[in-house]
Amino acid sequence: MNRATVRLAMAALGVLLVSAAANGEWAPGSVHWPDDCGYVNVREQGAKGDGRTDDTAAIRKVLAEKNAVGIYFPPGTYLVSDTLLCGSSKRHFIQGAGPDRTLIRLKDRAPGFGDRNRPKAVFQNYDQPIGKGRNGQAFRNSYHDLAVEIGPGNSGAIGILYFNNNQGSMMNVRVKAAKGSGFAGVAMAQGWPGPALFRHLQITGCEYGIWSTIHQYSFTLEHVRLSGQRRAGLCNTKQRLFVRGLASRQASGVPAIENGSGMLLVIDSDLTGSGPAAITSKSDIFLRNVKTSGYKLAAKAKSGSVSGPHVTEHAASVLTFSSVAKTTLNLPVEESPTADWSKPSDWVSVAKYGAKGGDGEDDTEGIQRAIDSGARVVYLPRGFYDINGTVRVRGKVERLCLMESSVATGTDKTPGWDADKPVFRVEDGDSPFVIIEKFEGRYGTGRPVFEQATTRTLVLRTVVPRGSLGYRNVVPGGKLFLDDYCGGQLTFDRMTVYARQFNPENKGRKIHVKGGRFWVLGLKTERAGEIVRAEGGAEVEVLGGYIYRNRGKTLDDGTKPDAFINVGSSMSVCGIAGDSTCNEIRGGSTKVGKAGSGVYVGRP
């Protein structure tokens, strides 16, 4: 092929990848992770990854590190024979080179993994036994881009016993068990896990694909594939689960979901098997656009039987103050953008342009020069950075990856200090979208962290900005994706916003939607204050939430605001655990009710 042909072929491939991503099916098989990104490389610490050597001791030594740590598993098969336990319950970032290339394999008949009544994990990031623990501070743990395989004869094995709080995710991960082996692919079974986002998670085999037993603090699942489980695809006793894009393929007599008393919301899913019902639940459930095949019923829930094979919408109850159709808004959903960044030549480090972590010197200029270099991907080797000015995200950059760094943004003693100056300002540029991901702001930072000054798409993924103001837009009409985001109050002025695993915890109003559209799957909040206020003809859809009113039920002025406020706009709220009070203000009158475990719908 000549150069033009190669370019054409690459362009065609790009189109293919983008269109495949649009239906949520695409996740990268091959991930580039630069050598100098500041993660600890397990190969450099004695792990062989050759599929023959037992790497347990070498990997455990790396994981035992008590401080926050990013751990990289280069391509290879890492054979292990015991639990890989993290040394601290928080800020452990487990990164592979893609689930096709990084495999952690539990030996056949490994000692201690043979008893299904005493499950034992391959990966575990909280040292408490199953059913024990009282932790709400396990921030940010993640497993990205790897696979775990459970060898034969390990019927008590759990692939990943997952634990986190506030912000954390499992993305692009596969767990596979040999025939008859494995208790659960992924488990959330220590007190108290979540909220977190599981996306592009694929589990084959085991008794349960996902096994969840604790009630706090909710989980959001998107594009999860469960197949060949022996008892149930997903077994949940108490947790609040918000699920979109579940594909379940089960043998005869195995349900897709066996749910206990937890809140369950399932949308846009496809459940194939046979037996009495695809979903069984002891509590009320919300279903929308769920296709089932082979089961006698789509669901058997507390609120009654739901016949299939295709459920357009099912809710236990409907709260509405008008005579409009009593179904949810069903807003069109867009997938969060992603692309192929597996080519090392796309990546540029800010170190090359003078930014340096940990030296206390301002890094604004170095980061800016890296962005203006024309690279598609700019990364900050993991460290402590100071951004005292404003980084302008523009030009060709598509992905700004901070490698789980910590970012300080100056104080009122910093020269040139301006409390209104943003840390990152996203401007017009060549790429239709920009992703800023993987970092945490320091406590006490006083400036707005993200300012969107463009109508092109911005994605904020796996971040905890921690500014006085996490985000604002100064140009209306843009698009924003929040994927696994924990931060303070947000205002969206005539924007289109899609949020997954969104956890604002500030006291007072959390989300203010001034016109435009706001769609959220998995909203978890804390403390007193309005959760969402919609006005200006906005369209708001809340699909699953845990509205946790802790740390005082009233604001400082003694008021106790309702959760969802609809001012002359369109709003639907469903799958809410905790405070579900809805307040509709229309034509000068105010009506109040509770959506409970059902649905609230209000539109003009």
Q: Which residue in the block uniquely carries the two structure tokens 């949308």?
A: 267
- Residue 408 C-beta: closest distance to Ca ion, Å: 9
Site size toward Ca ion (CB under 5 A) is 5
Measured CA to CA, the distance from residue 458 to residue 193 in angstroms comes to 29
Q: Which is nearer to Ca ion, 360 or 587 (CB)?
A: 360
Would you count residue 361 as binding Ca ion (CB under 5 A)? Answer: yes
Single out the segment in contact with Ca ion by CB under 5 A; choices: 81-89, 149-157, 172-180, 386-394.
386-394
Would you count residue 408 as binding Ca ion (CB under 5 A)? Answer: no
Measured CA to CA, the distance from residue 42 to residue 431 in angstroms comes to 34
Residue 14 phi/psi, 5° resolution? -55, -45
- Residue 368 C-beta: closest distance to Ca ion, Å: 13
Residue 514 phi/psi, 5° resolution? -100, 90
Would you count residue 440 as binding Ca ion (CB under 5 A)? Answer: no
Measured CA to CA, the distance from residue 452 to residue 393 in angstroms comes to 10
Measured CA to CA, the distance from residue 438 to residue 144 in angstroms comes to 12
Would you count residue 313 as binding Ca ion (CB under 5 A)? Answer: no
Q: Which is nearer to Ca ion, 386 or 398 (CB)?
A: 386
* DSSP per position, 447-515: SEEEEE-SSSEEEEEEEE--SSEEEEESSTT-EEEEEEEEES-EEEEEEEEEEEEEEE--SS--EEEEE
* Residues forming a β-bridge with 180: none
Please report, as residue ranges, which positions from 41 to 60 form the binding site for Ca ion (by CB under 5 A).
none
Q: What is the dihedral of CA 251, 252, 256, 260, to 10 degrees?
A: -130
- Residue 365 C-beta: closest distance to Ca ion, Å: 10
Measured CA to CA, the distance from residue 90 to residue 72 in angstroms comes to 17
Measured CA to CA, the distance from residue 247 to residue 84 in angstroms comes to 29
- Residue 68 C-beta: closest distance to Ca ion, Å: 18
Q: Which is nearer to Ca ion, 320 or 364 (CB)?
A: 364
Please report, as residue ranges, which positions from 234 to 273 form the binding site for Ca ion (by CB under 5 A).
none
Would you count residue 356 as binding Ca ion (CB under 5 A)? Answer: yes
One of 50, 359, 418, 420 touching Ca ion (CB under 5 A): 359
Residue 498, helix vs strand vs coil: strand
Q: Which is nearer to Ca ion, 28 or 381 (CB)?
A: 381
- Residue 366 C-beta: closest distance to Ca ion, Å: 8
Measured CA to CA, the distance from residue 221 to residue 241 in angstroms comes to 7
Single out the segment in contact with Ca ion by CB under 5 A; choices: 48-56, 289-297, 385-393, 446-454.
385-393
Q: Which amino acid is at 309?
A: P
Would you count residue 363 as binding Ca ion (CB under 5 A)? Answer: yes
Single out the segment in contact with Ca ion by CB under 5 A; choices: 197-205, 358-366, 434-442, 443-451.
358-366
Q: Which amino acid is at 300?
A: K
Nearest to 194 by CA among 516, 511, 486: 486
Binding-residue pattern over the window 153 to 192 for Ca ion, x denoting contact by CB under 5 A: ----------------------------------------
Would you count residue 82 as binding Ca ion (CB under 5 A)? Answer: no
Q: Which amino acid is at 348?
A: V
Residue 153's Cβ-side half-sphere holds a number of Cα atoms within 13 Å equal to 7
Single out the segment in contact with Ca ion by CB under 5 A; choices: 72-80, 90-98, 142-150, 380-388.
380-388
- Residue 449 C-beta: closest distance to Ca ion, Å: 18
- Residue 361 C-beta: closest distance to Ca ion, Å: 4
Q: What is the DSSP letter of 284?
A: -
Q: Which is nearer to Ca ion, 356 or 472 (CB)?
A: 356
- Residue 398 C-beta: closest distance to Ca ion, Å: 24
Residue 496's Cβ-side half-sphere holds a number of Cα atoms within 13 Å equal to 13
Single out the segment in contact with Ca ion by CB under 5 A; choices: 145-153, 263-271, 362-370, 516-524.
362-370
Nearest to 285 by CA among 312, 260, 256: 260
Q: Which residues bind Ca ion (CB under 5 A)?
A: 356, 359, 361, 363, 386
